[in-house]
Each structure stands twice: as C-alpha cells, then as structure tokens.
Amino acid sequence: MARLVVSSEAVRVELSRGEKIAGLLPDLKMSATAVEDVQALNDGFTGVTGMRAPGLALPGRVRIGTWRGSRGNTFAVVHQGKPAVQLTLKDQKYRRVVVEVENAEEAARQVREAAGLDESTAPVLEDATFLSDGLTLAGTWTLPATGPVKGLALLLPGSGEVDRNSDHRRMPLGVTRDLAEALALEGIAAFGYDKRGVGASEGSFLAAGFQHNYDDADAAFDLVAQRSPQLPVFVVGHSEGAFHATALAARKREQVAGVVLLSASAHSGEETLQWQTGQIAGALPAFPRIVLKLLRTDLAKQQRKSMVKLHASDQDVLRMQGRRMNARWMREFLRFDPLPLLKQLDMPVLAISGGKDLQVNPADLEIIARAVPGPVETKCIPDLTHLLRRDPRTPMLTDYKRQIRERTDAKVLDTVVGWARSQVLATRPPVS
C-alpha cells in the first residue's frame, strides 16, 4: 500500500514495488507549497477520472497509474471503496494526486498544515446511493464548503456509458462535474450518479432502455428532493439528459423550481438522429467523403436500413455492423418526443445550445421558446459544440478528443450559475 509522508517542506508518495510496476509510476515528491487544495475522499475511485494512460485498471477494484483528462493528469493509487486523499497541485507534472490512506481526514489535515492552507474552500464531496428498479445506483453530492445550502440540483448527463462526472472511459467530458463544482460555489448542492452498469452502479448498461434511464433519473430526483424539502430543486440535463429533465419537470411540476436544458432537441429521437446524420456526413473530411463515394455508401440510406432492423427486433442488445449495441435504448429513444412535455413546463426554463452543434439543431431553441408556457430564456453561443466546448474551426466529430482537453465552457457555467442564482432569490420568502 502506498505511503503518504508529510514534512514541513515536502509531501512524498512512496509506492511499493508492485504498485510501481502496475502503474508504471515512480515515487512522487512535491514541495508542500505546490499543494493548492486538499480533500479527504470516502472512496478514492471518485477522484480518478479521465483516460488511463498508462497504468492498471481492474473494473470495480483498483486504479493505479496515470489518468489523463480535461483538468490535466492524475497520479492515482486507489482501491474502490477505500478512503483516499486528493491533492490539487500547481506547476507540477500532475494536476491531481489521489492516494489511498487509512485515515484520510488526518492525512488531509497534515498536508493542509504543511502547505499553510486554510480549511478547504473547494466543494465537499459526499457519496450516496439510491434504489431504482431493485438496483443500487451510486453517485456523489457536491456540497458548498462554507455557508448555507441555498438550493439543490439534479444533474443528468448525455447518452453513452458515462459516470457521475459525465466521463466515458474513452472520452472524459466532465460536464456534470464542472456544473456541480460551479453550482456548489454558488451555494447549490448538486447530485450526479453513475448510469446502470457504470462505475459503482449495479445493472447492465447495454440492457438498459431509454425508459430505464428516465426511471433512474426519477428515483435520483426523489433522493435530491428529500435532502432538504424546504429548498428549491433544479434539474439540469445535457443532451439525452435534457430529454429526461424535460420529462421529469413535466411530471413533477409541483416539485421542480426550474429546468436547465443544455444541447437539447425539441424533436423526436428519430428526427434528431436523421438531422445528425446529415450534419455529420457534411462535416466529414475530404478523404472519408471520397472513400464513401467510391464505395457508393450513402450514410442516410445505411441509417434507414439500421432503423428498420432495430424496429423489427425486440431484443435488449443487438449486434449491428459487427458490434453489440443497446437496441432497447435506441428503439425507445427513437420514439421519444419531447414537444408535448415542453408544452407542460410552467416553471422557469433556461436552454443553451451551440452554433456548432452537430448532434442537435441549435434552431430548436426557437421551438423551445415557443413551446414552453412558463418563463423561458434561450441562448445560442456561436462557437459552442455539442460537448459544451468552444471551437472556432469547422465542426467535426473527429475533433471531439481535442475539445475535451478543455473544461466545460466558462460562459455556459457562468450562465447556468447566474440563472440558478436568480431563481433561488426569486423563491426566497420575503423578509418581514
């Protein structure tokens, strides 16, 4: 087991021989003054996000090595369910160090004292679980470090095999993590969770349908609302999460204080997918376009054939084009139409899309503005992509891995936080 050694001038991480070999890591030493922040984690796994490169990862058991993500590199030596210390560094090879220790609170105190830091102003992370359809799903509360909690937020990520931070093992987006941290700094406690079969959540991702994902969001909402019944509850959804946020708000109008829809479609899943195909085909680089032309491959026609095969099946998981896919999710997604639900939203709504979104038509903001009967604000950010990052270049899916090196766009975060602040103020009772 790794040892964290703290002196008045330095912090060292000493690894066993096995850990060095497994993670391709040396011992690590840093000046105490390089430590910007320290957090004690109940489960060290929650501090390790991004893509492993290189190192050892045994699903649900251990992470040892280097993880690369939009926030920089993470030095990780942790086992799932074990406490750990997370150090945030400045001007170092690693932006974060997450190391398993027996007493995380005491170790964090020692590092904080050596670094001359006051009590952390960074958000406090609190793990939580809830039941949905007989499965235990796991997530994290991101709580304000100081001051009263002013509101609560449920964060719903986009499609794919993503965790509570919106991180896929091959594409760490970090959207819900960035939102949670920004909201916590405003005094709003935010909750995000791992999808079925992802991270610490039970179940099978591939077998889960679109309706299952809604059911899980519904169960998570109940957990959030029960934390402090007197506080306003907001639902924030990105991409697929925006569909579920719309449905939740329509069906829980008495409980939802406001909704944030990021990269949201106002069309059915099938119409959205058809639009996506047209945009992606038009944005392909020259060489792939030439290859498709030589092979006489029509992407739209190929998609229609796939849709016929999907609709004809009743399997949860189906093999298509050489790979297994979540067929049940796809069938239910294709049928889902958010427009009737948008027409039921009588609470405040904020909708943000990007002018360079290849997956959702930014013109749908106009449909949302017309459909929602409650107070609605819409914002189209010109260079914003579907991943909520800026890109001044011609948008292409092949640029996604480059885009995720950056954090979620600051203007998106500022707009969401400013809107939430105004809604919290609006819900406060008048001072007599």
pLDDT in tens, the chain (432 residues): 889 999 989 999 999 999 999 999 999 999 999 998 888 888 888 788 778 888 998 877 899 999 987 668 999 999 988 999 999 998 899 999 999 999 998 999 999 999 988 766 678 889 999 999 999 999 999 999 888 999 999 999 999 999 999 988 778 888 999 999 999 999 999 999 999 999 899 999 999 999 999 999 999 999 999 999 999 999 999 999 999 999 999 999 999 999 999 999 999 999 998 888 887 765 555 544 443 344 455 555 666 666 777 777 888 888 876 778 888 999 999 999 999 999 999 999 999 999 999 999 999 999 999 999 999 999 999 999 999 999 888 877 777 878 887 889 999 999 999 999 999 988 765 443
Q: Report in angstroms the alpha-carbon separations of 78 from 278, 311, 355.
A: 44, 44, 41
Q: Cβ(178)–Cβ(248) under 8 Å? A: no
Q: Please give the span between the terminal C-alpha atoms of the chain, in angstroms, as a whole number.
A: 58
Give the residue from 255, 236, 123 showing the smallest Cα distance to 187.
Answer: 123
pTM passes above 0.95: no
> Edge to edge, what strands does the sheet with 124-132 contain?
124-132, 135-143, 188-193, 151-156, 233-238, 256-262, 349-354, 376-381
* Residue 382, helix vs strand vs coil: coil
Q: Cβ(268)–Cβ(336) under 8 Å? A: yes
Cis peptide before 157 (omega within 30 of 0): no
DSSP-derived letter for residue 198 is: S
Residue-level pLDDT at 291: 39
CA dist., res. 249 & res. 234, Å (int): 9
Give the residue from 143, 131, 232, 217 showing the smallest Cα distance to 181.
Answer: 143
